[in-house]
Structure 1
Amino acid sequence: MDNNNYSLDLSIIPKELTLLLEILKTENEEMKESFKNESYIDIDWNLFLDLAIHHRVYPLIFSQLKKNENKIPSNVMHTLTKEYKKNAFQMLHLCGEMEQISKHFSENQIHLLFLKGPALAADIYGDISRRTSKDLDVLIAITDLEKAEKLLLSLGYEKEVLPNLLNEWKWRNHHIVFFHPKKKIQLEIHWRLEPLPSKEPPFTELWGRRRVSSATNYPVYVLGKEDLFLYLVSHGARHGWFRLRWLIDIDHMIRRGVDFNRVEILLRKYQSLNIAGQALILTSELLNTPLNDKMKVLVTGNRSKKLSQMALSFINEMKPLNIIMSTNYYRRYLFSLKSSNSRKILRIILLFYPSSADAKTLELPKPLHFLYFPLRPLLWAWRKIRKHKV
């Protein structure tokens, strides 16, 4: 990688993860037989499978390894085949529901954009079976939220109960989860792409740059290419890129072509240059993603380099997101993502906004709920003390 001789310290990566990355790289090479035989020596295949499933890359791994089945144990190939077929059926199931949701929302004059799921798989990979998704994520204008909720409830969906002390859900969340008990489908309604204090384009602009997905017959709308790149970079960075699937999305977008002149305008406007540099460093180092001259400028920043090395720890840990997010290391990482002092200050202010946990610690009558603002630091400290005593 040509970025002032900088490279990630990959020494913490186990050989099973290295092999996983090598297999993913070969998808973009002309010579599919370029697997290195020595890479398959002394591999813990159980760990290899765990990594492929954890990082949600097993459909791509299966596609590559079925051309080289003689290099791996038969039980490994059997597991990959089973998981691949299961995912293919899941994506078809989601695709059918996606089309129906789009139709219902359109008939009720609610504009919505599909963020991930089959629409993203078809857009980036050209095949819905090559990417995984456990649910459907859609974006709507916050002014349509109540209308969308009533519609989903009428369609048999059930709403996740959110804490609502002083309307905290509006400040601490950016989506609501709905679940259909019969169809076994989870649907997330987003009114923001990312939680506060991130800056992002308003829904009207995103809708104006929308594209039609190729995944369905009935029109399903997705983000414009440049908006999608901004969203995927922001989403992956916020989660520490703890799944390789998100980096592979970026890699495929770049290889399939994206107007980086227009992308750069969005990155600058929404203060996302550092996290874009982080994504480009990680994809070029781990997946050999080709970078053009404009992209190479972004990977030279010291902040992007630091963020990349920090994220490598999350990629390597193979822990659930809720465990990662509970660590002080992740909190420091998340604070480092904020590119401006104003966004850092806003994040600190949000920390002082009361939560339902405060109400559980000290129950106050509704007319006195305003007291939770000055009491929050004391209630937070009290919970910490009690937790350490247990």
Structure 2
Amino acid sequence: MESLKMLDLTNISKELKLQLEILKLNNEEINQIDDKWFTNIDWNEFVALTIHHRTFCTIYKKLNLAHKTFIPDFVVQKLAEFYKINIFKMLQLSAEMDNVNKKMKEQEIKFLLLKGPALAKELYGDISLRTSSDLDILIPIEKLCEVEQLLQNEGYLKNDYIRSVLNDWKWRHHHVTYFHPVKEVKLEIHWRLNPGPASEPSFNELWSRKKLSKLTSSPLYLLGNEDLFLFLASHGTRHGWSRLRWLLDIYQIMKKDEFDFIKLKVLANKHQYTRVLGQSIRLTFEVFDVHVKNDLKELNDNKRSIKLAKSTLFYLENKVNLHTYPVPESISSYHESYLFQLKTPLQKLLFIMSFFFPYPEDQDILPLPKRLHFLYFPLRPIIWLWSKMRLRAQSLNRGISK
């Protein structure tokens, strides 16, 4: 298998390499790990990386079984602290998930769980082995107002106030966030799996392929196996796999081997997910030594999949965090280019065309009454050029003032 690998991992840190070696092993194999991986390790950096990549739960469970005397006690103790905090968080989210489920059923609102404790149970068999900071729920878009009212009645406050011109929010965005100030629970309500413009299955299609969660006795539903694979692949891809937890999810799916290969490839082709799927499979093969079934070898060995997998090394080598703003300009610039590479020709065309659709910021530059909003279409290029010129002038003025 090593001879088939094409990802150069020599520039990632020793601490990250050790983490990868630990994650590859089953619990009973942990004491078979070669001592060389533990040489000259900065243990504080190792702990920091497990937190950054959200893998500390799995790492802790394995290191807790290890007999290696050269693993400092403070490492296991620190990981144990985070592990216990995560257990309480997952139990809290599980309880709130039950509460939301009950309220949704009373209103006869169908929904699908995307992540959270139900996903942890599905992939890892134990809610303590995956982290989650919130609950992600997919609903039909026509139920959005009902769900918002339901959540407000439950004490949730809306965190995201999406500005929109001509209802572009329906496809430019894919979720809105709510927060409960007393329970301290964050809830994301999705009407799309990913931001647009892009093709994706309708809610009814996804509902027809749903899967019953094993977490609770009352019915809760997840995405079906193939839809879940594609959703997690597209989510991880969109973030450059900058956290290993997302790739670990794909590893767990591929180990379980419960999906229909033919259906998976049909769905990937239909919704332009082939590049995303190929990249995720190749990365899992390279990083976790996962065995790739014959049905997926074409995607794994594809030159484009290999190239896209290589483009993610930037995120691993630089410990990129896309979730803390402001994102450094060098990282932001690379990420924009990376996302564009992932798009198919059709997706690139739709993406470019989306720039000609009015943005909410256009209203700030040129306020027009609602009845004249259609004029933003022909004026869009002029408004875009004007905004760029204004930003450039402001930048020059700041340079002169310094």
| TM-score bucket (shorter structure) | over 0.9
2:385 corresponds to 1:385: no
In 2: Cα distance, 1:387 partner to 1:222 partner: 48
- The residue type paired with residue 117 of structure 1 is G
- The residue type paired with residue 255 of structure 1 is K
2:190 corresponds to 1:186: no
| Counterpart contact for 2:101–2:220, Cα < 8 Å | yes
- The residue type paired with residue 254 of structure 1 is M
Deviation at 1:263, TM superposition (A): 1.4
Q: Which residue of 2 aligns with 1:167?
A: 167
| Counterpart contact for 1:274–1:301, Cα < 8 Å | no
Deviation at 1:368, TM superposition (A): 4.7
| Counterpart contact for 1:137–1:189, Cα < 8 Å | yes
Deviations 1:348-378, CA, capped at 9 Å, x for gaps: 1223333333334454554554444423322
In 2: Cα distance, 1:321 partner to 1:51 partner: 15
Q: Which residue of 1 aligns with 2:109?
A: 110
Greater RCO (CA < 8 Å, at least 6 residues apart): 1
Q: Which residue of 1 aligns with 2:91?
A: 92
SS of structure 1 residue aligned to 2:189: strand
The counterpart of 1:356, out of the listed 360, 379, 386, is: 360
- The residue type paired with residue 67 of structure 1 is L
In 2: Cα distance, 1:210 partner to 1:386 partner: 53
| Counterpart contact for 1:352–1:377, Cα < 8 Å | no
Deviation at 1:252, TM superposition (A): 0.6
Deviations 1:283-313, CA, capped at 9 Å, x for gaps: 1111111111112111122211111011121
Q: Which residue of 1 aligns with 2:306?
A: 305
| Counterpart contact for 1:284–1:291, Cα < 8 Å | yes
Moved over 6 A (4+): none
Deviations 1:200-256, CA, capped at 9 Å, x for gaps: 111111111111111122211111111111111111111111111111111111111
SS of structure 2 residue aligned to 1:31: helix
- The residue type paired with residue 46 of structure 2 is F
2:334 corresponds to 1:335: no
| Counterpart contact for 2:94–2:117, Cα < 8 Å | yes
| Counterpart contact for 1:354–1:376, Cα < 8 Å | no
SS of structure 2 residue aligned to 1:277: helix
2:345 corresponds to 1:347: no
Q: Which residue of 2 aligns with 1:248?
A: 248
Q: How many pairs are equivalent?
A: 387
| Counterpart contact for 1:324–1:330, Cα < 8 Å | no
| Counterpart contact for 2:18–2:38, Cα < 8 Å | yes
2:378 corresponds to 1:376: no
In 1: Cα distance, 2:230 partner to 2:307 partner: 20
Deviations 1:307-355, CA, capped at 9 Å, x for gaps: 101112123322321527962221111111112x222111012233333
For structure 2, list consecutive stretches of 5 or more residues without a partner in the other structure: none
| Counterpart contact for 2:237–2:280, Cα < 8 Å | yes
SS of structure 1 residue aligned to 2:168: helix
In 2: Cα distance, 1:383 partner to 1:37 partner: 59
Identity between Structure 1 and Structure 2 (%)? 44
In 2: Cα distance, 1:76 partner to 1:384 partner: 48
In 1: Cα distance, 2:332 partner to 2:60 partner: 33
- Describe the shift of the 1:370–1:262 C-alpha distance in structure 2 as closer, same or farther (beyond 3 A): closer
Q: Which residue of 2 aligns with 1:42?
A: 40
Query: For 1:17-28, what aligned pairs fall within 5 Å after superposition?
Result: 17-27=16-26
2:260 corresponds to 1:262: no
Q: Which residue of 2 aligns with 1:290?
A: 291
- The residue type paired with residue 105 of structure 1 is M
Deviations 1:136-169, CA, capped at 9 Å, x for gaps: 0010111111111111111111112222344332
Cα RMSD of the aligned pairs, angstroms, is 2.0
In 2: Cα distance, 1:383 partner to 1:124 partner: 50
2:322 corresponds to 1:321: yes
Q: State the TM-score, normalizing by the size of structure 2.
A: 0.91
Q: State the TM-score, normalizing by the size of structure 1.
A: 0.94
Deviation at 1:97, TM superposition (A): 0.6
